[in-house]
Amino acid sequence: MIQEKKAKNSTGQLIEKAVPSILLVIAVISVLTTLGIVFTLIFETMTFFKRVSIVEFLTAKEWLPFFSSDPKYGILPLISGTLQIAFIAMLVAVPIGLASAIFLSEYASDKTRRIVKPVLEVLAGVPTIVYGYFALTFVTPLLQNLIPGLQFFNALSPGIVVGIMIIPMIASLSEDAMTAVPNAMREGALGLGSTRLEVALKVVLPAALSGIIASVVLAISRAIGETMIVTVAGGATPVFSFDPTHSIQTMTAYIVQVSLGDAGYGTTIYYSIYAVGMTLFVFTLIMNLLAQYISRRFKEEY
Mean of pLDDT values over 112-137: 84
Around Cβ 48, how many Cβ atoms within 10 Å? 21
- pLDDT of 282: 87
- Per the model's pLDDT, the better-predicted residue between 268 and 2 turns out to be 268
CA distance between the termini of the chain: 51
Report pLDDT digits (tens) over 34-81.
888 888 888 888 888 888 888 888 888 888 887 777 788 888 888 888
Does position 5 have pLDDT exceeding 60, yes or no? no
Q: 3-class DSSP state for residue 16?
A: helix
Class of the domain covering 72-297: mainly alpha
Q: What is the DSSP letter of 239?
A: B
Residue 161: closest CA among 107, 258, 229: 229
Query: According to the model, what pLDDT value does residue 2 have?
Result: 56
User: DSSP per residue over 92-109, as a string?
Assistant: HHHHHHHHHHHIIIII--
Note whether 161 and 229 are within 8 A (CB): yes
* % helix, strand, coil for the chain, step of 5: 75, 0, 20
Q: How far apart are CA 290 and CA 225, in angstroms?
A: 16
More confident residue, 261 or 170: 170
* H or E stretch covering 275: helix 268-297
pLDDT tier at 160 (50, 70, 90 boundaries)?
Answer: very high
Three-state SS across 43-89? Answer: HHHHHHHHHCCHHHHHHCCEEECCCCCCCEECCHHHHHHHHHHHHHH
Closest-CA residue to 156 (of 78, 221, 230): 230
* Beta bridge pairs of residue 239: 62
pTM (predicted TM-score): 0.83
For all residues of the chain together, what is the average pLDDT? 83
Separation CA 299–CA 89 (nearest Å):
26
- Select the more confidently predicted residue: 261 or 166: 166
Taking the C-alpha atoms of residue 270 and residue 219, their distance in angstroms, rounded to an integer, is 30
Per-residue confidence at 300, pLDDT binned at 50, 70, 90? low
Give the span between the Cα atoms of 300 and 231, in whole angstroms: 40
pLDDT score, position 180: 82
- Who contacts 289 (Cβ-Cβ below 8 Å, separation ≥6)? none
| pLDDT at 298 > cutoff 70 | no
Tens digits of residue pLDDT in 69-119: 778 888 888 888 888 999 999 999 999 999 988 888 888 888 888 888 888
- The C-alpha atoms of residue 223 and residue 94 are separated, in whole angstroms, by 12
- Confirm if 162 and 226 have CB atoms less than 8 A apart: yes
In whole angstroms, give the CA distance from residue 290 to residue 34: 20
* The pLDDT of residue 95: 92
Q: Give the pLDDT of residue 89.
A: 92
pLDDT, tens digit, 9 for 90 and up, residues 231-273:
888 888 888 888 888 888 888 888 888 877 666 777 888 888 8
Asked if the model's pLDDT at residue 16 lies above 80, the reply is: no
pLDDT at 121 over 80: no
